[in-house]
Chain A
Amino acid sequence: MADVLQPDRVLDCSGLLCPLPVIRTSKAIKEILPGQMLKVIATDPGAPADMEAWARQTGNELVDSHEEDGKYVFYFRRVR
């Protein structure tokens, strides 16, 4: 799945703990256009639950999330 998704921007939050991955993600998504895709990489074990909650709260679409080489990878599409 990761191969077919083409991110317009990649944000690496490796080594960061709560709340930074969520805060950096919210900043990064404002820097792409609606419809564009943001890829986020994180190592925080709390990231999967937090990223899902963030997407629900902001209305941005979590297109895909999976683990890759021991890291969490998320694809968000900016909705508005």
Chain B
Amino acid sequence: MARSNPEAPKRLAIIASKGTLDFAYPPFILGSTAAAMGWEVGIFFTFYGLPLLLRDYDPKVSPLGNPAMPLKMPFGPPALRQISWPIPALLEALPGFSLLATSLMEQTFEQKGVPSLRELRQLCIDADVNLIACQMTMDVFGFKREDFIPECTVGGAATFLEFAADADVSLFI
């Protein structure tokens, strides 16, 4: 994976370390866009980012511990939609609140024309983005290779670093 050709395209290396809905978007958006610009892209999915490569995964988001997250309604009159509801953290901790917040965010994204995570991941796969699943995380959290999409590769820190050594842009998300 090291780069020998000086004429090679630009390269983007991303570490995806978080698996909630909000943090799942940036690696796939940046990865698919860079690929559309003709760049080589590698994304290393580690720790809580690893589940983003599972065959069946449905990331959630919660405003609890995310104090800057706007809580807006995706439906209703425009004036009401503009309100960011000040929900007390104690309410946010109630069972089901994360599901509600996730559903609201997914509806808002769909209405605004943002693709779903599944679509974005498929766009990355179609564009030959190198999706690297962290072997160590797999072992630690008890996942098996067959739990993950067949298109990903499995590797460790050295695998990613060799790719990232020649990267023009490196990001930790």
A interface residues, Cβ below 8 angstroms from B: 15-20, 22-23, 25-27, 44, 53-54, 57-58
Contact = CB atoms under 8 A, between A and B. Distances in A.
B171 to A, nearest CB: 15
Contacts of A19: 29, 32-33, 36, 115, 120
A23 B114 contact: no
Chain A at the B interface: SS class: helix
Interface string B73-97: 0000000000000000000000000
Contact of A16 (B32, B113, B120): B113
A57 B32 contact: no
A73 B165 CA distance: 39
Contacts of A23: 32-33, 36, 123, 127
A19 B33 CA distance: 6
A67 to B, nearest CB: 19
A15 B113 contact: yes
Contacts of B114: 17-18, 20
A12 to B, nearest CB: 12
Contacts of A53: 37
Contacts of A20: 113-115
B37 A26 contact: yes
